[in-house]
Structures are given as structure tokens and as C-alpha cells.
């Protein structure tokens, strides 16, 4: 791999809390998209896989945007956590400052939960986008598509941890409840989609 990739890993492995798990979840999703695009191009490259050409073309189009979104979300997640830390550093020398600080903490924490929730939505959308390709894509690249599906599901799970940890620090209210419910729904959808894709691919590989 190139120096740019190593630089990203160096930043993740540093003592700085950002980029952290949420950013890694988004980068994991970017890898899922990239593998999906590879399988799509390998499918389009052969006329004998013509049945999968439409699905492959759709994946290439959607995943090109998906990679861009994933990278944006990786940066957004890091910025969201930095904003939480900044809010805790606000002065609290009097009642007004304490009130401003408290509001900033709640607002930034909610945003820090919403960003990984966006990652979960994007992961769910991606898994749906490769469902057709799992049925008709180039059989010689099915393990790569299975890896793509697994990465997307892992991305959703990792992102959910970041949603939860931020919700844990908030008082109970309707917004917290709604975020939590959507998180649980997206986790179930991700598991269901990845399990379906796995079943389809394992059957095509005759690994059952």
C-alpha cells in the first residue's frame, strides 16, 4: 500500500482520540464499497456474466458516491467528537457560563450520536445495493463480495457502539429514544441483509 494509507493508520493509532471508532466504521464502509465496485467491474468485463451487468452498473454508480460519502462521514465523526471535547472545555465560572456549557455539551453529544447513525444508514443502503449482484455477479469474485457484505455489517455494528456511548451520557427524552430505536432497527436490517447475502453466495459457491 502507499504512504497515504500508512498515514491514515498512523493517525488512527496515535494517542489522539480522533480519528476513532466512528471514523474507522466509515472507512470500513468505504472498503466495502470499493470491493463491491471491483466485483461489479469483474462482472461487466465478461459477456457471459451479462445477467449481472445491470446490477453491476448500479453498484458502480451508487458506490462511487458511497465512497465519497464514507470519507466525508469519517471526517465528520472525528469533528463531532472534537466538538464534544471542546464543549466540556467551555468556562463555567458563573451560572450563565454553566448554562451555555451544559447546552453545548448536550447539543454536541447528540450530534456525535447522529453522525455514526448516518454511517449505519449508509451501511444498510449499501447492503441492499449489492443484493442483486450477489445473485448474478461474477462467480469467480463471490468471496470478495461476501467480504464486502461482511465489512458493511461490521461498519454498522462499530458505528452503533459510537451511537450508544453518546446516548448513555444523555438524559432520557424523546430524541434519545428515537435515535436508539433507529439504531436498533438499522442493526437488525444490516444483520438480515448480510445474512441473506451470505446464504445466496454460499449456495452459489456450493459451500453449504
Per-residue pLDDT of 97-139, as tens digits, reads 999 999 999 999 999 999 999 999 999 999 999 999 999 999 9
Q: Report the alpha-carbon angle 138-139-141, nearest 5.
A: 75
Q: Taking the model in full, what pTM does it have?
A: 0.95
Report percent pLDDT > 90 for the chain. Answer: 95
Mean pLDDT of 58-63: 98
In the chain, domain spans: 17-205
Q: What is the pLDDT of residues 61-85, one digit of tens each?
A: 999 999 999 999 999 999 999 999 9
Instruction: Check if the beta carbon of residue 20 is closer than 8 Å to that of residue 75.
Output: no
* Domain 17-205 classification at class level: mainly alpha
Amino acid at each position: 500500500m502507499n504512504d497515504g494509507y500508512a498515514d491514515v493508520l498512523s493517525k488512527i493509532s496515535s494517542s489522539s482520540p480522533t480519528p476513532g471508532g466512528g471514523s474507522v466504521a466509515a472507512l470500513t464502509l468505504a472498503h466495502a464499497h470499493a470491493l463491491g465496485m471491483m466485483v461489479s467491474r469483474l462482472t461487466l468485463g465478461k459477456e457471459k456474466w451479462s445477467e449481472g451487468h445491470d446490477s453491476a452498473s448500479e453498484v458502480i454508480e451508487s458506490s462511487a458516491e458511497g465512497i465519497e460519502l464514507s470519507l466525508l462521514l469519517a471526517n465528520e465523526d472525528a469533528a463531532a467528537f472534537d466538538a464534544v471535547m471542546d464543549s466540556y472545555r467551555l468556562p463555567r465560572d458563573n451560572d450563565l457560563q454553566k448554562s451555555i456549557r451544559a447546552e453545548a455539551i448536550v447539543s454536541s453529544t447528540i450530534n456525535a450520536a447522529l453522525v455514526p447513525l448516518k454511517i449505519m444508514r449508509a451501511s444498510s443502503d449499501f447492503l441492499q445495493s449489492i443484493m442483486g449482484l450477489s445473485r448474478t455477479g461474477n462467480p469467480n469474485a463471490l468471496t470478495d463480495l461476501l467480504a464486502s457484505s461482511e465489512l458493511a455489517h461490521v461498519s454498522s455494528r462499530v458505528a452503533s457502539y459510537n451511537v450508544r456511548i453518546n446516548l448513555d451520557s444523555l438524559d432520557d427524552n424523546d430524541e434519545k429514544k428515537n435515535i436508539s430505536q433507529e439504531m436498533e432497527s438499522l442493526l437488525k436490517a444490516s444483520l438480515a441483509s448480510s445474512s441473506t447475502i451470505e446464504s445466496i453466495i454460499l449456495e452459489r459457491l456450493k459451500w453449504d
